[in-house]
C-alpha cells in the first residue's frame, strides 16, 4: 500500500512531468476517446443533473454525411427551417457539395460543413448525443460505436470540438438507431445493448445511462423484427412524451406475435406524465420502414416506398400528430434503413425549455385549476413575461390567455378559472424569451392542446403521504456521487413524483413518475465540505404536494487530498492534458 503522503508526492511529481511535455502531444486530434478510457479508466461524466432532450424537442440543425444516403429534395426541405451540417472529407469535397447544393436550389445560408473522415452515411448511429448538464449548458455525450468504423466513431468528438461544446465519454457500446428517449429520463432500446456490452451487468448499464444521460428508467426490450440489426427505430418511435408509434402487421405475418407483445408491454408502462403510454400504429404489411422517420420541429419526414400503403402511413402520422406537417420522401430505403438512420437531429443549444405534467381526465378544484411548469431559457435571455402564459378554452370556444406568474427556481404557474362539472377544458402553455424564441407545451400548441374535464371538488383528491426520511450514506468525500432513496404512499393509488433538496443551493427536478409504495432514488455530489440536511417531498399526478420529509444529515469532511478543486482547475487550464493526468492519478489512488 502507498500511504497518503506518498500518493500526493508522487502525483505532484507526475504533474510536473506532464506539464513539461509539449502541449501538442495532447491535442484532441491525437487522442481516440475510447483509447483514453481503456488506458486510464477515465469516465467523462457530465455535471449533474443531466437531461437528454427528445427528438421532438426544438432542433437547430441536422447532421448528414457526403456522399449522401438521402435525396437533394429531402436536404432542400430540411434546409428551409434548420441548419444542415454536412460532414465532408476535405475542402475539395466541401466545394463539390456547395456546387451540388446550388444546382438543386438548396439554401446555402442554412448550410455549414464539418471536415472529418467518415466510413458511412449512418449519422444516426454514430452521431453525437446531446444533453443539458447541471451547468445549464449543452454537452455532447459519446459512446463506442458498435461497428468497426473508426472514422465514424470519431465524429462526436470532432463535432464537439468544432462547435466548442463540452464533450463527455460514456464507456458503453451502442448505436443511435437503437435508442430513443422521452426527454424526461425514460429511454428505450432493444436488448442488443445488453448483448453488445457483455462485460457490464444490466445494473451497470443503467447506472451509465443515469450518470451520463439522466435516464432513470431504461426500458430494454426484445427486438420484434427478427432482423440482424435489432434497432428500436426499425419498429417503434416516440412521437411525444406519452405517445409511442409501433408498427402493425397482419396476423399472418411471422412477427405478429412479438410485435403485439411489445404493444401490450408499452400500453402497461407509465409515461413521464404519470399515465399509461398511448400506443399508435402504422401499418407495415411488407416490412415498410415507416417508423424510421425524422422529426424536425414542426415537420415530420417519413420514408415512403411508392406503394399503396404510403398514403395510410402518412395519415397515421397526421392522426397521431395534429398540427405537424407530414412529408413523405422516397429513397433507397429498406426495412432496416431509411431516413432516421441517415440523419441526426441537432438539439437547439439555446432552446426555450418547458417542462410540464399535463392535467388529464377529471380535474377538481375549489379556486380553479393550477397549471404549473418549469420554464428555462438556455439562451440566457430573460422571459418575455407578458407573453408567457396559458391559453385555454372550454369545449370549442375562443382561446383565453392568462399570464403565468413566477414562483422561483424557474417555476411558473397560472390558474384556469373554475368550470361547471362536465366542462371540457383545452389548454397549452406558451413562452417567449428575449432571444426571439417562442415555444409551446405541447410542442405544436393549439392543434394538439392538453384536455381535461372539470369534475367535483378538490377534496376528492388526497395528496400522498409525506415521504420517508431519505436513506443512504451519511458521510463521504467531496466530489463523489452518492445515491439516496425514499418512498411514499398515495392513498388514491396515483403515481407520484419526488423533489429533492440537497441543502447546497441545488434542487432536483421533479423525478418520476413512480407507483405508490415504489422506492425512488436520486443521486448527488457535493463540491464543498460541510454537513448537509437533505430532504424530499412528493406530489401526485394532479399536483397535490406533501410537506418536506424529515431531513437526513450528510457530512462531507475535508479530503486528505483536495481532488475536486485541483482537478477542476487542471481541466480548465489544460483540458487535454487533464485526460491523461486524471486517469493516471486514479490508478495511483486505487493502489
67-to-121, 128, 369 alpha-carbon distances in Å: 7, 19, 54
Calpha distance 205→193 (Å, rounded): 9
Same domain, 395 and 491: no
**Overall number of domains in the chain:** 4
Question: What CATH number did the domain enclosing 134 receive?
Answer: 3.75.10.10
The model's pLDDT over 32-81, given as tens digits with 9 standing for 90+, comes to 444 544 444 444 689 999 999 999 999 999 999 999 999 999 999 999 99
Domain boundary, last residue among 416, 441, 460: 460
Is-catalytic flag, 11?
A: no
- SS3 call for 82: coil
Q: Which of 23-27, 359-363, 403-407, 518-522 has the lowest mean pLDDT?
A: 23-27
Residues 229 and 333 in one domain: yes
Query: Do 277 and 401 sit in the same domain of this protein?
Result: no
Q: Which of 3, 1, 10, 15 lies closest to 574, judged by CA?
A: 15
Quick check: is 362 in a domain? yes
Structural domain includes residue 44: no
Could you tell me the end-to-end alpha-carbon distance of the chain, in angstroms, rounded to an integer? Answer: 6
21 lies in the same domain as 117: no
- Alpha-carbon distance values, 60 to 10, 82, 349, 383 (Å): 47, 5, 8, 20
Residue 46 domain-assigned (yes or no)? no
pLDDT at residue 135 greater than cutoff 60: yes
List 11, 234, 272, 341, catalytic entry: 341
| CATH code, domain with 531 | 2.60.40.10
Per-residue pLDDT band for 374 (boundaries 50, 70, 90) equals: very high
DSSP secondary structure of 223-291: -SS-SSS--GGGTEEEEETTEEEEEE--TTSTTHHHHHHHHHHHHTSB-TTSSBPEEEEEE-TT---TT
Q: Which of 347, 381, 414 is the last residue of a domain?
A: 347
Please state which of the ranges 38-42, 178-182, 327-331, 384-388 shows the lowest mean pLDDT.
Answer: 38-42
Domain that holds residue 508: 471-556
Tell whether 327 and 369 lie within a shared domain: no
Is 220 contained in some domain?
Answer: yes
In this structure, the answer to whether residues 112 and 142 fall within a common structural domain is yes
Q: DSSP characters for 383-402?
A: B-GGG-EEEEEETT---EEE
- Residue 40 within a domain: no
Count of positions (residues) in the chain: 591
Q: 9-42 pLDDT, tens per residue?
A: 555 555 555 445 443 333 333 344 445 444 444 4
Please indicate, yes or no, whether residues 96 and 161 belong to a single structural domain of this protein. Answer: yes
Q: What is the pLDDT of residues 524-553, one digit of tens each?
A: 988 888 999 999 999 998 778 999 999 999
Does residue 199 form part of some domain? yes
Q: Which helix (H) or strand (E) segment is 39 a member of?
A: helix 33-40
Q: Does residue 211 sit in the same domain as residue 74?
A: yes
CA pseudo-torsion sign 394, 398, 401, 402: negative
Shared domain for 226 and 286, answered yes or no, is: yes
For residues 147 and 202, the answer to whether their CB atoms sit within 8 Å is no
Rounded Cα distance, 59 and 537, in Å: 33
Query: What would the grid cell of residue 206 be?
Result: 443503467
Average pLDDT, the chain: 89
Question: Do 301 and 371 fall into the same domain?
Answer: no
| 260 inside domain | yes
495 and 453 within one domain: no
- In the predicted model, is pLDDT for residue 563 greater than 50? no
What does the pLDDT read at residue 577? 55
Q: What is the pTM of this model?
A: 0.80
Decide: 171 and 43 in contact? Cβ < 8 Å.
yes
Judge whether 162 lies within some domain: yes
Give the C-alpha distances (Å, rounded to integers) separating 461 from 367, 423, 542.
Answer: 14, 18, 8
> Are both 10 and 118 inside the same structural domain?
no
Q: Which of 347, 371, 401 finishes a domain? A: 347
Q: Look at 20 and 466; give whichever has higher pLDDT.
A: 466
Cα–Cα dist 500/537, whole Å: 7
Amino acid at each position: 500500500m502507498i500511504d497518503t503522503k506518498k500518493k500526493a508526492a508522487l502525483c505532484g511529481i507526475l504533474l510536473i512531468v506532464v506539464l513539461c511535455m509539449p502541449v501538442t502531444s495532447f491535442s484532441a486530434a491525437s487522442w481516440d476517446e475510447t483509447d483514453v478510457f481503456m488506458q486510464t479508466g477515465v469516465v467523462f461524466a457530465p455535471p449533474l443533473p443531466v437531461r437528454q432532450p427528445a427528438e421532438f424537442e426544438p432542433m437547430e440543425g441536422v447532421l448528414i454525411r457526403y456522399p449522401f444516403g438521402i435525396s437533394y429534395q429531402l436536404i432542400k426541405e430540411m434546409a428551409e427551417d434548420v441548419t444542415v451540417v454536412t460532414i465532408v472529407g476535405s475542402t475539395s469535397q466541401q466545394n463539390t457539395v456547395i456546387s451540388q447544393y446550388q444546382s438543386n436550389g438548396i439554401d446555402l445560408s442554412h448550410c455549414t460543413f464539418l471536415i472529418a473522415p467518415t466510413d458511412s452515411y449512418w449519422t444516426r448511429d454514430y452521431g453525437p448525443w446531446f444533453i443539458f448538464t447541471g451547468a445549464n449548458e449543452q454537452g455532447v455525450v459519446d459512446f463506442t460505436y458498435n461497428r468497426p468504423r473508426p472514422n465514424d466513431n470519431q465524429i462526436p468528438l470532432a463535432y464537439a470540438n468544432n462547435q466548442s461544446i463540452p464533450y463527455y465519454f460514456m464507456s458503453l457500446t451502442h448505436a443511435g438507431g437503437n435508442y430513443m428517449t422521452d426527454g424526461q429520463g425514460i429511454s428505450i432500446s432493444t436488448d442488443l445493448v445488453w448483448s453488445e456490452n457483455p462485460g457490464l451487468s444490466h445494473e451497470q448499464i443503467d447506472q451509465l445511462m443515469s450518470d451520463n444521460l439522466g435516464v432513470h428508467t431504461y426500458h430494454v426490450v426484445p427486438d420484434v423484427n427478427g432482423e440482424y440489426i435489432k434497432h428500436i427505430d426499425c419498429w417503434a418511435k416516440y412521437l411525444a412524451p406519452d405517445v409511442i408509434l409501433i408498427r402493425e402487421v397482419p396476423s399472418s405475418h411471422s412477427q405478429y406475435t412479438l410485435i403485439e407483445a411489445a404493444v401490450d408491454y408499452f400500453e402497461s408502462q407509465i409515461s413521464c406524465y404519470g399515465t399509461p403510454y398511448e400506443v399508435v400504429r402504422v401499418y407495415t404489411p411488407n416490412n415498410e420502414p415507416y417508423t424510421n422517420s425524422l422529426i424536425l420541429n414542426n415537420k415530420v419526414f417519413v420514408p415512403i416506398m411508392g406503394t399503396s400503403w404510403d398514403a395510410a402511413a402518412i395519415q397515421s402520422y397526421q392522426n397521431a400528430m395534429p398540427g405537424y406537417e407530414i412529408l413523405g420522401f422516397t429513397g433507397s430505403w429498406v426495412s432496416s434503413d431509411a431516413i432516421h438512420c441517415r440523419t441526426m437531429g441537432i438539439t437547439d443549444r439555446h432552446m426555450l425549455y418547458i417542462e410540464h405534467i399535463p392535467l388529464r381526465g377529471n380535474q377538481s378544484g375549489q379556486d380553479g385549476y393550477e397549471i404549473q411548469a418549469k420554464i428555462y431559457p438556455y439562451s440566457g435571455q430573460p422571459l418575455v413575461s407578458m407573453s408567457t402564459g396559458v391559453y385555454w378554452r372550454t369545449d370549442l370556444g375562443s382561446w383565453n390567455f392568462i399570464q403565468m406568474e413566477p414562483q422561483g427556481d424557474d417555476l411558473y404557474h397560472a390558474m384556469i378559472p373554475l368550470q361547471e362539472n362536465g366542462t371540457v377544458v383545452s389548454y397549452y402553455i406558451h413562452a417567449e424569451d428575449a432571444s426571439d424564441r417562442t415555444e409551446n407545451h405541447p410542442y405544436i400548441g393549439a392543434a394538439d392542446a392538453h384536455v381535461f374535464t372539470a369534475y367535483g371538488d378538490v377534496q376528492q383528491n388526497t395528496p400522498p403521504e409525506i415521504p420517508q426520511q431519505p436513506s443512504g450514506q451519511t458521510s463521504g468525500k467531496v466530489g463523489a456521487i452518492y445515491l439516496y432513496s425514499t418512498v411514499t404512499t398515495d392513498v388514491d393509488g396515483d403515481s407520484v413524483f419526488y423533489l429533492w433538496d440537497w441543502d447546497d443551493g441545488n434542487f432536483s427536478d421533479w423525478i418520476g413518475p413512480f407507483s405508490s409504495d415504489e422506492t425512488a432514488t436520486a443521486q448527488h455530489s457535493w463540491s464543498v465540505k460541510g454537513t448537509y440536511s437533505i430532504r424530499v417531498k412528493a406530489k401526485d399526478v394532479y399536483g397535490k404536494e406533501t410537506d418536506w420529509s424529515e431531513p437526513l444529515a450528510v457530512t462531507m469532511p475535508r479530503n486528505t487530498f483536495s481532488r475536486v478543486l485541483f482537478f477542476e482547475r487542471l481541466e480548465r487550464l489544460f483540458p487535454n492534458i487533464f485526460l491523461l493526468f486524471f486517469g493516471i492519478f486514479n490508478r495511483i489512488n486505487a493502489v
